[in-house]
Amino acid sequence: MIENRTIGEKYFTLLDAIDEGFCIMELVYDKPGKITGLVFREVNQAFEKQTGLSNVIHKTVDELLPDFEQQWIETFTNVIKTGEPRRLENYVKDTNRWYNIYFSVFGGGKSSQLVAVVFHDITECKRHEQQQEYLLKLSDTLRSVADPVAIEEKISRMAMEYFGTDRCYYCTIKEGNALIRKDAFREDLPSVAGTYPLIHFTLLKKMVDEGRTFVVHDANTSEMPDEALRKFCLQLQAISFIYVPVVKKEKAVGLLCLIQSVPRRWEDMEVQLAVETAERTWAAVERAKVEEVLQESEENYRAIVEQSITGILKVNLSRDIIFSNEQFAKRLGYSIRELTSMTLDDIIAEEDLERDKALFGRLIAEGKAYEIEKRMKRKDGSLVWVNNQIAPLFNNKGQPQAAVDISADVSRQKAMEAQKDEFISIASHELKTPLTSIKAYGQMLEEIFEAGSDAPNYGFIKKMNVQIDRLTDLVYSLLDTTRISGGQLALQPEFFDLNVLITQQVKEMQRMAPKHRIIFRASELSPVFADRDRISQVLSNLISNGIKYSPKGGDIVITAKPKEGQLKVRIRDLGIGISAEKQKDIFERFFRISNEATRSISGIGLGLYIATEIIQKHGGVLGVESKPGMGSTFYFTLPYSDNKTEDNL
């Protein structure tokens, strides 16, 4: 019993007034001095309210809170021995509450076996803490998982553990079905993963659609809106549960279910937390889905780029390489890492660099894509011929910000072309040797027979010599094409009178074309600076084309007039003409117009190709204006200065 009760009376009046729980406890010993228990001696009025325990005086802790006796006895002994107060936090399972407890020695002197205990309920605070911890853990987990199914699985497990339920799952609602991909469940329960048509549960569907959270404490007794649903719940041993639908844009998209196989009084806090969990799950699953789609699309494009057999390169406007695919790196013998620290200038052969830079400049300035065949340098220094298609990549303001270069190795084609050209070149040279003799013999024969009186034989020989000249021209043409494609067509320009050259050509051609009248309308011209033989070759080609493609005869009119710093030579015929779509092809190598009207016309289709190259090499243009049946006008221009003093030209 407490000795100085009167002083105690006063304090107790005071202690009854506070809302914290207070009690005085005493350690009880047996005869040999061994502790036998901890007994409640006094309690204040708040005690019962805080603990839910009544009539505790003279009872032991063991009787009321058996889990704590041992811990408390130790604490008491310690407090009494040291005189130091102690503070504990205890969870009391029976009341499902948390307490903060403060122990201190009661009464004076070292002999006191009394301890004063002040405590208060910190359950709300504790729960809040736990919720925060749970939500934090949830967020952490969701952040690290990228797969939507894995997210559903993890959340189901965590929520089941936190809420202490028997089952938990998140289903995705799509096209009227609830899809459960991974559920969490107590070991002795079966999984419910699968697809469930919501149409079978009309009311549930209605609640889901309305986005109402559905809380049932006991399916046996709770007012269930639908008997079919009750039956279903009982069948699944879902006795108490929380269903939280997630509604987005007025449509149910997900459903979180927390299920207990025994009745359970769900607290508001728990329901709120379930709603929060459902919302976060949906957000995480959505994010993961979007990422999945993005990743899939990204993988798709990556595969196309990486596994492509064409080389793909991305460069910025300073020509630094910022991306290369495997194929391109392999072609040049570099690693991708090496390439991405290099610039275009490092890998393009010197011979092609200026040309490429000029086109790249236009790409930046005008956003124009271009195609270029160029030599690239391999790591070992060897060269590889590559055909490149280079297109600008625009920013959102429509300005070029980078360029993508798609390229194919054309070394084989180039080698074959070179081989072919070499063959033509050798063959032509070989042909020239016997041709030289035949031509000379032919000419000598012609001279001999010209003097004599054998007219028929003289005629034959003349015809033979015309054919020899044709053969000679053919050989020259073949050689010219190989020189053009090898870039070896060199000009030997000089000043000469173009009027004289045209007049000579007209005279010569007229001899061979008795059916046609070749007319030259000369204008006053200053000397031109050009390769006389080559211009003669062009004229010869254009005039003979005019003759060839006007088989019925007619006039061929040639004019040469200066115009705006240029000299324009026009050769007009009244022949079969050329359709618009064929006009662009006729300048190609080996192209011949083929139709009924031209079948009998000979030639191998090199003349215009060579003529175009010759004129371009002079800095001029060669072109055609024509309509089928209305004849054609071929023209070419040459740079021209009207100044008569040659020094200024």
User: Is 490 near other proteins (CB under 8 A)?
Assistant: yes
Task: Pick the stretch among 100-108, 411-419, 436-444, 563-571 that binds other proteins (CB under 8 A).
Answer: 436-444
Query: Hey, which residues between 87 and 106 contact other proteins (CB under 8 A)?
Result: none
Q: How far is CA 36 from CA 26, 57, 81, 113, in A?
A: 11, 17, 17, 13
User: Is 458 near other proteins (CB under 8 A)?
Assistant: no
Residue 638 has φ and ψ, to the nearest 5°, of -135, 145
Q: Which is nearer to other proteins, 194 or 486 (CB)?
A: 486
> In terms of Cα–Cα distance, which of 513, 625, 639, 638 is closest to 577?
625
Q: Which is nearer to other proteins, 304 or 491 (CB)?
A: 491
User: Is 617 near other proteins (CB under 8 A)?
Assistant: no
User: Is 443 near other proteins (CB under 8 A)?
Assistant: yes
Give the CA angle between residues 205, 206, 207 to the nearest 5°.
95
Q: Which is nearer to other proteins, 279 or 473 (CB)?
A: 473
- Find the shortest distance in angstroms from Cβ 492 to other proteins: 7
- Find the shortest distance in angstroms from Cβ 429 to other proteins: 5
User: Is 487 near other proteins (CB under 8 A)?
Assistant: no
User: Is 540 near other proteins (CB under 8 A)?
Assistant: no
- Find the shortest distance in angstroms from Cβ 586 to other proteins: 25
Q: Cα–Cα distance between 61 and 39 in angstroms, integer?
A: 6
User: Is 492 near other proteins (CB under 8 A)?
Assistant: yes
Q: Which is nearer to other proteins, 479 or 638 (CB)?
A: 479
Q: Cα–Cα distance between 171 and 185 in angstroms, integer?
A: 14
User: Is 512 near other proteins (CB under 8 A)?
Assistant: no
Summarize the chain as % helix, strand, coil (round to 5): 45, 25, 30
- Find the shortest distance in angstroms from Cβ 437 to other proteins: 4
- Find the shortest distance in angstroms from Cβ 351 to other proteins: 21
Q: Which is nearer to other proteins, 90 or 425 (CB)?
A: 425
Please, which residues bridge with residue 22 across strands?
118
- Find the shortest distance in angstroms from Cβ 438 to other proteins: 8
Task: Pick the stretch among 356-364, 479-487, 567-575, 622-630 that binds other proteins (CB under 8 A).
Answer: 479-487
Query: Hey, which residues between 406 and 435 contact other proteins (CB under 8 A)?
Result: 429, 432-435
The residue behind tokens 């254009």 is 542
Q: Which is nearer to other proteins, 393 or 426 (CB)?
A: 426
Instruction: Name the token pair of 607.
Output: 């003349």
> Which listed residue (18, 440, 466, 512) binds other proteins by CB under 8 A?
440
Task: Pick the stretch among 66-74, 105-113, 438-446, 519-527 that binds other proteins (CB under 8 A).
Answer: 438-446
User: Is 436 near other proteins (CB under 8 A)?
Assistant: yes
User: Is 511 near other proteins (CB under 8 A)?
Assistant: no
> Which listed residue (232, 266, 323, 441) binds other proteins by CB under 8 A?
441
Query: Hey, which residues between 243 and 302 contact other proteins (CB under 8 A)?
Result: none
**Range 420-437 burial, b when 16+ CB lie within 10 A, else e:** ebeebbeebeebeeebee
3-state helix/strand/coil string of 595-639: CHHHCCCCCCCCHHHHHHHHHHHCCCCEEEEECCCCCEEEEEEEE
Q: Which is nearer to other proteins, 127 or 532 (CB)?
A: 532
- Find the shortest distance in angstroms from Cβ 484 to other proteins: 12
> In terms of Cα–Cα distance, which of 354, 607, 585, 583 is closest to 474?
607
Instruction: Name the token pair of 459.
Output: 């005629």
> In terms of Cα–Cα distance, which of 384, 273, 269, 286 is closest to 330?
384
Strand runs labelled E in 378-429:
383-394, 400-409
Q: Which is nearer to other proteins, 472 or 559 (CB)?
A: 472
User: Is 4 near other proteins (CB under 8 A)?
Assistant: no
Number of residues that bind other proteins (CB under 8 A): 21
Handedness of CA 350, 354, 360, 361 (dihedral sign): positive
> Which listed residue (86, 287, 439, 589) binds other proteins by CB under 8 A?
439
Query: Which strand (E) or helix (H) includes residue 210?
Result: helix 202-210
Query: Which strand (E) or helix (H) includes residue 240?
Result: strand 240-248
634 and 622 in contact (C-beta within 8 Å)? yes
518 and 509 in contact (C-beta within 8 Å)? yes
Handedness of CA 622, 628, 629, 630 (dihedral sign): negative
Q: Which is nearer to other proteins, 298 or 430 (CB)?
A: 430
Residue ranges that bind other proteins, judged by CB under 8 A: 429, 432-441, 443-444, 468, 472, 476, 479-480, 483, 490, 492
